[in-house]
Structure 1
Amino acid sequence: VVALRFKDGVAFAIEKIITSRLYESGSNKRIHNVDKHIGMAIVGLLADARQLLTTARDEAKQYKHDYGVSIPVKYLADRLAMYMHAYTLYGFVRPFGCFILLAAYEGDGPQLYGVEPSGVTYNYFGIAVGKAQQTAKTEIEKLKLSELKLEDAVKEAAKIIYQVHDEVKDRMFELELSWVGKLNDGKHERVPKHIFDDAEKYAKASLEEASDDDDEM
């Protein structure tokens, strides 16, 4: 997964490996809504992550019931961090086998949080988690995130996913893209199809261009 926080929002891009052609497209999604304004991206064991997604939604619902406003993403990240940390304290339970990312666009701007299985949480400008994460992080560091617009950030995130994809080990994969930001009134949602298609086209073209440059060398 690649997540970019830029001046107007946050973008998620996920490489979902397809292990069989018999799977229906769109199965086992790794990007979800916790609330209208908060998105969650999942890396690791899906079964474990579903429990965390349910817990996050319950927290959001309870906060709205108690205070009459939507839950701040930082508060949610801290609550999930405590929940995940509790599973590292006892011998009769195991830690969660997943890393989760939370994104939102709030009054003080875009927010991106990551929660590790240990219960440690960080606020990020950009992050890559999973296979080839170091290569992806290097590509993220090249970007001027503070200058990126929403659609450009989605394209760059998709480009990084295609750049680090290992065609030898994992031939088939499905790209997932979502965003939350000022442009869509702070609602987390999957990118519209025409923008998704443009981002995928841009990513493939960039990959072919890089391949041609390597051949010339």
Structure 2
Amino acid sequence: MTSIGTGYDLLNSIFSPDGRNFQVEYAVKAVESGGTSIGIRAKDGVVLAIEKVVSSKLLKPGANKRIATVDSHVGAVSSGMVPDGRHFVDRARDEAQSWRQNFKTPIPTSDLASRMGGYLQAYTMYGSVRPFGITAILGGYDTPEETPVDGEVGSGPKVGAGGKVEGKHGGPFLYMIEPSGMYWGYYGAATGKGRQVAKAELEKLDLAAGNMSLEDAVKQAARIIYIAQKDNKDKDFELEMTWISGPDGPTKGRHVEDAWISNVLPT
């Protein structure tokens, strides 16, 4: 049975006879035409990087940021439609703020990815909205800590009034969230136009071994972006990068955009 037929791509709440959601597939196409974004999880932090094509000589260098701070310990980057990416960041910030207000602690990166995955998935279920035209990469460094519990209703996870519950394991975390709302944890992630080349380069690094330092990850991220950009070598581009280190690292467990990276990259 053919999957091409009138009406199956008019609403994202309709599946084709062979189980495809064309609106989500169109959103993926929008992502594939965007600049290349990558994330690398090192042993002591996370690096995010993106290739920003300079579409006009009149653009002010460095003015159009694509990497954003979600919370003090979490950053985000996305490929695809820029306005959709900005709305994604705004919503992620709301989720992080809500978590702080309710639980008096920073939101774990995994919980933020789960909430944002659910948010994007909701935009694939109703005919009155369209899927997000982005794939987002979240990187964060969670600090191990005990979560205080005061026993009040709505105060968070409990093991008894006035008790404490063991906090989540700390360390660097990296997640990629697709237009469908599906998200996975990664050691290295890539999306955008040069994703295939970037993925191949990331696989060569053996990131799962957990031996790469944050400084080396910065250098590798820059190298991979330049390699992935070769297909568009006739176009100028900016390399935007950021990193989040552990408490003993350069950023002291916080997301600090662009800080000290120029001192690490080779000239």
**TM-score range with shorter-chain normalisation?**
0.7 to 0.9
1:211 equivalent in structure 2? none
Residue aligned with 1:95, SS: coil
Aligned 1:1-217 pairs, distance under 5 A:
1-106=37-142, 107=144, 108-145=170-207, 146-166=210-230, 168=232, 170-182=234-246, 183=249, 184-193=251-260, 195-196=261-262, 198-199=264-265, 201=267
> Quick one: percent identity of the two aligned structures?
44
Task: Output the amino acid matched with 1:65.
Answer: Q
Residue aligned with 1:156, SS: helix
Task: Output the amino acid matched with 2:262.
Answer: F
Residue aligned with 1:147, SS: coil
Q: In 1, Cα distance between the equivalents of 2:263 and 2:216? A: 13
Whether the aligned pair in 1 keeps the contact of 2:119 and 2:181 (CA below 8 Å) is yes
Q: In 1, Cα distance between the equivalents of 2:235 and 2:197? A: 19
Deviation at 1:2, TM superposition (A): 1.4
Q: 1:61 to 1:164 in 2, by over 3 A?
A: same
* Structure 1: runs of 5+ lacking an equivalent: 202-217
Deviation at 1:77, TM superposition (A): 0.8
Q: In 2, Cα distance between the equivalents of 1:198 and 1:58? A: 33
- Give the aligned length: 200
Residue aligned with 1:159, SS: helix
Whether the aligned pair in 2 keeps the contact of 1:81 and 1:115 (CA below 8 Å) is yes
Deviation at 1:3, TM superposition (A): 0.8
RMSD of equivalent CA atoms: 1.5
- CA deviations over 1:55-113 (Å, ceiling 9, x no partner): 11111111111111111111111111111111101112110101111111113211001
Deviation at 1:27, TM superposition (A): 2.6
* Structure 2: runs of 5+ lacking an equivalent: 1-36, 145-169
**Which protein is bigger by CA-based radius of gyration?**
2
Whether the aligned pair in 1 keeps the contact of 2:137 and 2:189 (CA below 8 Å) is no
- CA deviations over 1:138-177 (Å, ceiling 9, x no partner): 1111114322111111001000011111365652100011
Q: In 1, Cα distance between the equivalents of 2:62 and 2:132? A: 24
Which of the two has greater helix per residue? 1
Task: Output the amino acid matched with 1:159.
Answer: R
Q: TM-score, normalised by structure 1?
A: 0.87
Whether the aligned pair in 2 keeps the contact of 1:17 and 1:170 (CA below 8 Å) is no
Task: Output the amino acid matched with 1:29.
Answer: K
Task: Output the amino acid matched with 2:265.
Answer: A
Greater length-normalized contact order (CA 8 Å, ≥ 6 residues apart): 1
Whether the aligned pair in 1 keeps the contact of 2:244 and 2:254 (CA below 8 Å) is yes
Residue aligned with 1:165, SS: helix
Q: In 2, Cα distance between the equivalents of 1:127 and 1:161? A: 12
Whether the aligned pair in 1 keeps the contact of 2:39 and 2:48 (CA below 8 Å) is yes
- CA deviations over 1:26-59 (Å, ceiling 9, x no partner): 2321100001100011111111111111111111
Task: Output the amino acid matched with 2:189.
Answer: I
2:162 equivalent in structure 1? none
Q: 1:15 to 1:168 in 2, by over 3 A?
A: closer
Q: TM-score, normalised by structure 2?
A: 0.71
Moved more, 142-151 or 121-130: 142-151
